């Protein structure tokens, strides 16, 4: 484990490995895609593959700073003009002291550990200022921004029908629409229907948003771990809860029933599962090792 993760999470993840980094990457992607602003200037966005240099994200003791460096390659210009096909980056940032609350960037940085990002790219700037509104995407979502932005360009008012959009399964639009829907204070039945009908990272997004907004998510999440649920459902339900717990510690206090949901998932996974083991350790459950 390297970079910001090493400096801030060494106590939480004493034996880091590929699975732990994957888990934190998925958490960051769930957070970022859930909160993507539909009012942003989408004509300035691009999709990039970020490839850090060896040692990117390492702490330089002499400077008391984190140095991130590497290269990026353009995956989709989303209609923008004159975007370079590739480029490089390098900057340093001071190591934060006396951190009271960790942000998603503290847990996983694509510029330290790699990934696919959606961002505003300004090649006239230097350092981290080149990349604005950085949104880490799941590895399988490289084409999702193009589909979402095409629909928004064709129908700028598409999110007004947020109930149908939230149920559509279109990854980025579903989260945008669900977030709008939550502002209308939907009842538990509607939240249940939308979460139960979702899958994959969309499910993680909706679970995270419902918990973040303290919406009526309990029936849906208890249903998600019912006997016979597909293996993918508990994984992404747990990921949504994990993201909420990690980025807003008061969720565990305000929604204590989420412990029951995670415990039910914990009992259903294999002892040697490399993904869930770190998740349960971080949130403080006994973990699969105790079974």
Q: How open is the CA angle 20-21-27, to the nearest 5 degrees?
A: 90
pLDDT above 60 (res 279): yes
The mean pLDDT of 59-77, rounded to a whole number, is 82
pLDDT digits (tens, 9 = 90+) for 116-125: 999 999 888 8
- Which pLDDT does position 14 carry in this prediction? 39
11 vs 90, 282, 284, CA distance in Å? 28, 10, 12
Can you give the pLDDT at residue 98? 55
Q: What is the pLDDT of residue 41?
A: 59
Give 21-51 pLDDT, tens digit per residue.
Answer: 888 999 999 999 999 876 665 667 999 999 9
Q: pTM for the whole thing? A: 0.87
What's residue 156's pLDDT? 82
Domain boundaries, the chain: 3-141, 157-290
Alpha-carbon dihedral 105, 106, 112, 115, rounded to 10 degrees: -40
pLDDT at 225: 63
**Which residues contact residue 237 at a Cβ distance below 8 angstroms, ignoring those fewer than 6 apart?**
203, 204, 207, 221, 224, 225, 261, 265
Number of helices followed by number of strands (H, E) in the chain: 14, 6
């Amino acid at each position: 484990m390297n970079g910001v993760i090493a400096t801030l999470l060494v106590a939480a993840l004493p034996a880091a490995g590929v699975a732990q980094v994957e888990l934190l990457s998925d958490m960051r992607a769930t957070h970022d895609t859930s909160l993507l602003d539909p009012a942003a200037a989408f004509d300035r966005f691009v999709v990039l593959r970020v490839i850090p240099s060896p040692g990117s994200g390492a702490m330089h003791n002499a400077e008391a700073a984190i140095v991130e460096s590497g290269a990026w390659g353009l995956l989709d210009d989303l209609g923008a003009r004159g975007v370079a096909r590739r480029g490089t980056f390098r900057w340093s940032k001071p190591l934060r002291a006396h951190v009271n609350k960790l942000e998603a960037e503290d847990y996983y940085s694509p510029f330290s550990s790699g990934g696919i990002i959606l961002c505003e790219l300004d090649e006239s700037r230097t350092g981290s200022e080149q990349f604005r509104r950085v949104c880490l995407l799941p590895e399988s979502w490289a084409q999702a921004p193009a589909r979402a932005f095409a629909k928004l360009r064709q129908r700028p008012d598409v999110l007004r029908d947020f109930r149908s959009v939230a149920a559509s399964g279109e990854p980025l639009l579903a989260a945008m629409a669900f977030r709008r829907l939550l502002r209308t204070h939907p009842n538990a039945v509607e939240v249940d229907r939308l979460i139960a009908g979702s899958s994959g990272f969309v499910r993680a997004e909706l679970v995270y948003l419902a918990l973040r907004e303290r919406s009526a998510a309990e029936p849906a999440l208890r249903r998600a771990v019912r006997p016979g649920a597909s293996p993918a459902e508990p994984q992404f339900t747990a990921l949504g809860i994990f993201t909420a717990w990690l980025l807003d510690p008061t969720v565990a206090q305000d929604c204590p029933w989420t412990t029951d949901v995670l415990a039910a998932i914990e009992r259903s996974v294999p002892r040697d599962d490399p993904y869930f083991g770190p998740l349960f350790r971080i949130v403080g459950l006994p973990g699969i090792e105790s079974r």
